[in-house]
C-alpha cells in the first residue's frame, strides 16, 4: 500500500519509516499493482497509442485518462496518486514532472532517449542462459524483447533480473570502457539499470561467481 505522512511524504509501509506515524491512506497493494501494470503498458509499450515525445514523455492528463479507461472503477485517480507511485518505486522505473511522466527503462518501442553517459562504472553485468553464452561471446549482445540492451549495476542485480525469466542464469561481465570505445554509448536509466543499443563481443566476458561472493545485495532490480 501507499500512505502519505504529513511531514515526510509518501511511503509504502504501514507507518512512516522516519517518524512512525501511520499517515493518510492513498492506495492498496492491489491498486498499486493495477496502476503499475497500466503505466508499464502505456509508457513502455505504447498501449492506447499515447501522444509520446522522443524521450518517452506523455502528458499526465492523458495517462490518467488511459488508466481510467482500462480501470473504470478508478474514477478517484489523480496526478498525486501517480506521483506517490513514482516517488516510492524502489526500482526507479518512472520519472515525472509537473505535467509529464515517462518510463526510465523497459521500452519495447523505439525512442531517442537522452541518457546520462557520465560516470559509468567500469564493469556492468548481463544475465544469460547457458545456450546464449557462446552467442554473446562471439556476436555481442543485441536487444531482443526490448528496444535497448539492459545492463545491471552489480553481479547480483543481474542474477536477480535473470532469475525472473530463466533457471540458473550465467552472468556476463561487460567492459563498459571497451563498449564505449567501440562507439556504443552506455547511459544510466535508473538506480541499477544502464542501457546500450549494442554490446560488441570484445566487451563481453563471463563473470566468475567467486569474484562477487562478498558483494552487498540491495534488493530486487525488476
Residue 74 located in a structural domain: yes
pLDDT tens track for 188-210:
999 999 999 999 999 999 999 98
Residue 115 located in a structural domain: no
Q: Is residue 96 left, alpha or beta, with left meaning phi > 0 and alpha meaning psi from -120 to 50?
A: beta
Q: Please give the residue range of the domain that contains residue 166.
A: 123-212
Q: Same structural domain for residues 71 and 151? A: no
The whole-angstrom separation of Cα 6 and Cα 53 is 35
Find the CATH number of the domain harbouring 128. 3.20.170.30
The whole-angstrom separation of Cα 76 and Cα 64 is 10
Burial track 118-136 (b if 16+ CB lie within 10 A, e otherwise): eebeebbbbbbeeebeeeb
Q: Please state, rounded to an integer, the average pLDDT across all residues of the chain.
A: 93
pLDDT tens track for 174-189:
999 999 999 999 999 9
Counted domains in the chain: 2
Q: Collapse the DSSP code of 95 into the 3-class scheme (helix H, G, I; strand E, B; otherwise coil) and give the result.
A: strand
Q: Same structural domain for residues 144 and 54? A: no
**Rg (alpha carbons) of the chain, rounded to whole number:** 19
Find the CATH number of the domain harbouring 83. 1.10.10.970
Residue 217 located in a structural domain: no
Please give the average per-residue pLDDT across 98-107, as a whole number.
Answer: 96
Closest residue by Cα to residue 199 from 172, 219, 159 = 172
pLDDT tens track for 124-170:
999 999 999 999 999 999 998 899 999 999 999 999 999 988 999 99
Residue 91 located in a structural domain: yes
CA angle 10, 164, 55 (to 5 degrees): 55
pTM of the model: 0.84
Q: Same structural domain for residues 93 and 12? A: yes
Q: Collapse the DSSP code of 31 into the 3-class scheme (helix H, G, I; strand E, B; otherwise coil) and give the result.
A: helix
Residue 181 located in a structural domain: yes
Residue 156 located in a structural domain: yes
Amino acid at each position: 500500500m501507499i500512505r502519505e505522512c504529513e511531514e515526510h511524504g509518501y511511503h509504502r509501509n504501514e507507518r512512516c519509516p522516519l517518524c512512525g506515524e501511520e499517515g493518510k491512506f492513498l492506495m492498496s497493494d492491489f491498486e498499486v499493482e493495477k496502476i503499475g501494470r497500466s503505466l508499464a503498458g502505456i509508457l513502455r509499450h505504447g498501449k492506447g497509442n499515447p501522444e509520446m515525445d522522443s524521450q518517452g514523455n506523455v502528458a499526465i492528463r492523458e495517462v490518467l485518462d488511459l488508466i481510467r479507461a482500462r480501470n473504470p472503477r478508478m474514477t478517484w485517480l489523480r496526478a498525486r496518486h501517480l506521483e506517490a507511485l513514482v516517488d516510492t518505486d524502489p526500482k526507479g522505473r518512472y520519472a515525472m514532472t509537473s505535467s509529464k511522466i515517462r518510463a526510465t527503462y523497459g521500452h519495447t518501442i523505439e525512442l531517442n532517449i537522452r541518457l546520462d553517459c557520465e560516470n559509468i562504472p567500469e564493469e556492468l553485468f548481463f544475465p544469460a542462459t547457458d545456450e546464449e553464452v557462446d552467442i554473446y561471446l562471439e556476436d555481442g549482445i543485441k536487444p531482443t524483447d526490448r528496444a535497448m540492451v539492459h545492463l545491471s549495476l552489480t553481479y547480483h542485480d543481474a542474477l536477480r533480473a535473470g532469475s525472473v525469466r530463466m533457471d540458473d542464469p550465467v552472468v556476463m561481465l561487460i567492459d563498459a570502457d571497451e563498449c564505449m570505445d567501440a562507439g556504443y554509448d552506455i547511459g544510466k536509466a535508473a538506480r541499477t539499470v544502464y542501457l546500450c543499443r549494442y554490446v560488441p563481443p570484445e566487451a563481453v566476458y563471463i563473470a566468475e561467481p567467486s569474484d562477487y561472493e562478498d558483494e552487498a545485495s540491495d534488493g530486487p532490480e525488476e
